Amino acid sequence: MAVVLAYRAAIALTPVAVRVLKYADGPGANELTTIPRSLWNRLLDPTETDADLSAAVSDSVGYAGNVTTFTGTFSTRKLQVSVAYGTEDVRVNTHHFLKVSGGAAVDTWAAADFIALETAYDTFWAAMKDTLPPAYVLSALKWYRAGPADVPPQEPVRAVDRSVAGTSIYASVPPQCCASVTEKTSAGNAWGRFFFPAPGANSAYYGPTGRLITAYQTQLANAVDAWYETALAASLLPVVYSTAKPVRATASGGSLAATSARALTIDQLQVDDVPDVIRSRRHSSPALKLLRAIG
């Protein structure tokens, strides 16, 4: 099994079983709950009973927890966001969402679910497009299945076109520069991250040493938070999804144990003030090669 954690709910998933942890009382939205490794291992163990796990969780985290196991299949939906940049290759980000109903993961996605998340993303883009030069254009939103039983490559289950350009009056910084958004889960070794195009070149966004200023960090963090909070309110949990992995050899000659597929709900967002660099997003070739002869 594998585990999904929300602020007050955790869901353990396999192709045939769903284990749900609900908190009767717990941390606020700005606090991160960390599950100890020993308890994680027990949540992953299908031989553990719900009653024993409920007691163990309650003792570990200090407030009431209730574990219940359901049966059924599950699959997340992966949103692929495409952003065009002039004549260069399209920039792509992916985001996963898990639908829940009655405390359990369900695979009954309807058109209204996709539209709700697309509308929320459109709102996010609208909140950030004033930081982007017009060369950046939101061009498409595509949806794919992603779960333990979903073998890639998958055909899109839905695709919608967009054509919404940035509106910043400032020149673009090198396109490989970006702002990073870290998606924290309750498992420190299973965080996610996505990269948003860096804002235009101006002191409205960058400090004297090239760091992103606090106002921009706040704008980006608030926009992502509003998008994900909208998803949560619709019971469409934003998650960090990891595929199942076989036993793997390590460089030192040891081995890593096999792991199940898992989808961990995102508990916190972090926006750093250091611009990141995605090498694959740099210009594909120089537009001018300026030479000088020596001697």
Indicate whether 112 pLDDT > 80. yes
Task: Please give the biggest Cα pair distance in the chain.
Answer: 84
Segments of 114-227 assigned E as strands: 136-146, 158-165, 177-184, 192-197
Indicate whether 73 pLDDT > 70. no
Q: What percent of the chain has pLDDT over 70?
A: 84
Kindly indicate the confidence band of residue 234, based on its pLDDT and cuts at 50, 70 and 90: very high
pLDDT digits over 177-205, tens only? 999 999 988 777 778 999 999 999 999 99
Higher pLDDT, 284 or 112: 112
pLDDT for 150 equals 85
pLDDT for 166 equals 96
Kindly indicate the confidence band of residue 18, based on its pLDDT and cuts at 50, 70 and 90: low
Residues 6+ apart with CB under 8 A from 78: 94, 95, 96, 143, 144, 145, 146, 241
Q: What percent of the chain has pLDDT over 90?
A: 46
pLDDT for 295 equals 86
Kindly indicate the confidence band of residue 19, based on its pLDDT and cuts at 50, 70 and 90: low
pLDDT for 41 equals 74
Q: Write the burial class of residue 261 (CB in 10 Å: 0-12 exposed, 13-18 middle, 19+ buried).
A: buried
Segments of 72-133 assigned E as strands: 76-85, 91-101, 104-105
Kindly indicate the confidence band of residue 42, based on its pLDDT and cuts at 50, 70 and 90: confident
The mean pLDDT of the chain is 83
pLDDT digits over 127-149, tens only? 999 999 999 999 999 999 998 78
pLDDT for 126 equals 98
Indicate whether 4 pLDDT > 60. no
Most confident residue range from 26-35, 93-102, 224-233: 224-233
Indicate whether 12 pLDDT > 60. no
Please give the span between the terminal C-alpha atoms of the chain, in angstroms, as a whole number. 70
Average pLDDT for 21-33: 51
pLDDT for 34 equals 63
Which of 84, 181, 180, 93 has its CA nearest to residue 133?
Answer: 84
Strands 76-85 and 192-197: unpaired
Domain ranges of the chain: 2-70, 75-240+265-281
pLDDT for 283 equals 82
